[in-house]
Amino acid sequence: MQTDSELKRAVRISEGEGGRQAGGCSDCAHVQSCLSRSLAGTNLMPIFESAIDADHIIDAGEPLVRAGDNFDALYVIKSGSFKAIVGENPANILGFYFATHLVGLESISKRKHSSGLVALERSLVCELNYQKLLDLFRRFPTVKVHFIEAMSGQLNESLTLFSVIRAGTVLQRVATFVLYLAAQHDRRKLASVDIVLPMGRTDISNFLGISPESLSRALTSLSKKRLLQVFNRRVTVLNRDALAALAGG
| Interaction site with DNA (CB under 7 A) | 169-171, 200-202, 209-217, 219-220, 230, 232-233
Return the amino acid letter for 227: L
**Are the C-beta atoms of 234 and 194 separated by less than 8 Å?**
yes
- On whether the CB atoms of residues 84 and 119 are closer than 8 A, the answer is no
In terms of CB distance, is 102 or 179 closer to DNA?
Answer: 179
- Cα–Cα dist 47/248, whole Å: 45
Closest of 175, 248, 170, 177 to residue 210, by C-alpha: 170
Measured over the CA atoms of residue 26, residue 30, residue 36 and residue 39, the dihedral's sign is positive
- Cα–Cα distance between 103 and 116 in angstroms, integer? 11
Binding mask 66-85 for a copy of itself (x = CB under 8 A): ------------------x-
Quick one: 59 or 149, whose CB is closer to DNA? Answer: 59
Q: Which does 89 bind (CB under 5 to 8 A by kind): DNA, a copy of itself, none?
A: none
Rounded least distance, CB 212 to a copy of itself, Å: 13
Candidate list 154, 192, 202, 229; residue touching a copy of itself; CB under 8 A: 154
Member of 22, 46, 70, 162 binding a copy of itself (CB under 8 A): 162
Q: What angle do CA 233, 198, 81 make, to 5 degrees?
A: 165
Instruction: Pick the closer one to DNA by CB: 63 or 209.
Output: 209
235 vs 55: CA distance, rounded Å: 31
Q: Which of DNA, a copy of itself, none does 160 bind, CB closer than 5 to 8 A by kind? A: a copy of itself
Binding segment (CB under 8 A) for a copy of itself, from list 29-37, 118-126, 186-194, 206-214: 206-214
Question: How remote is the C-alpha of 222 from its chain's centroid?
Answer: 25
Q: Which spans of this chain sit near a copy of itself (rule: CB under 8 A)?
A: 84, 86, 92, 94-95, 105-110, 114-115, 134, 137-138, 141, 144-145, 147-156, 158-160, 162-163, 165-167, 206, 208-210
